Amino acid sequence: MLPPFNPDLEAHSPPREALDWGAELAAADAVVIATPEYAFGIPGALKNALDWVVGSGEFVHKRVALIGASPLGTGANHALEALDRTIRVMTADVVASLSIPFVRGKIDGDGAISDGELRAALENIAAQLVAPASAMPIVE
């Protein structure tokens, strides 16, 4: 578990958890960030995790897909907007974004996806993440 972000620690003696988190990101070919919407934004724990790597470069030109889910009809649009701004400041290459409204009706009691359109959208995101960069559409 990452401790609360502290810029003094980041600069001089980052905790092992933050170093491990950064190393995992650096080793990844691509990253999917999936988040619920919390109070029309991203949860504090996700923001904290991003804060630990905002200046260290792990997201520079990293292919990233953003997914937000909400039980509301807004589909986590507020969270995705905030996340998109944050991740682009880190110069990540956002290749896809998916808003999932009414998420509770799209997964079953075991957490499996029960909605065919959602399954297809997620498969499309996975394909975009592994496609050659020259074949990928630019998401603005």
pLDDT tens by residue, the chain, 140 residues: 999 999 988 888 999 999 999 999 999 999 999 999 999 999 999 999 999 999 899 999 999 999 999 999 998 999 999 999 999 999 999 999 999 999 999 999 999 999 999 999 999 999 999 886 555 555 55
Domain-located, residue 110? yes
Domain-located, residue 138? no
CATH number at residue 100: 3.40.50.360
DSSP strand pairing (93-100 vs 30-36):
unpaired
Write the DSSP assignment of the chain as a string of letters.
Answer: -PPPP-HHHHHH---HHHHHHHHHHHH-SEEEEEEE-BTTB--HHHHHHHHHHTTT-TTTT-EEEEEEE-SSTTTTHHHHHHHHHHHHHTT-EEEEEEEETTGGGTB-TTS-B--HHHHHHHHHHHHHHHS-GGGSPPP-
Based on the structure, what is the number of domains in the chain? Answer: 1
Domain that holds residue 64: 7-12+30-130
Domain-located, residue 18? no
How much is the pLDDT for 79? 96
* Contact criterion met (CB below 8 Å) for 75 and 82: no
The pTM of the full predicted model, rounded to 2 decimals, is: 0.89
* Contact criterion met (CB below 8 Å) for 42 and 82: yes
How much is the pLDDT for 140? 55
How much is the pLDDT for 34? 97
* Contact criterion met (CB below 8 Å) for 32 and 63: no
Domain-located, residue 117? yes
Domain-located, residue 20? no
Q: Which of 140, 138, 114, 115 is nearest to 128 (CA)?
A: 138
Q: What is the CA radius of gyration of the chain?
A: 16
Task: Return all residues near 73 (Cβ < 8 A) that are at least 6 apart.
Answer: 101, 102
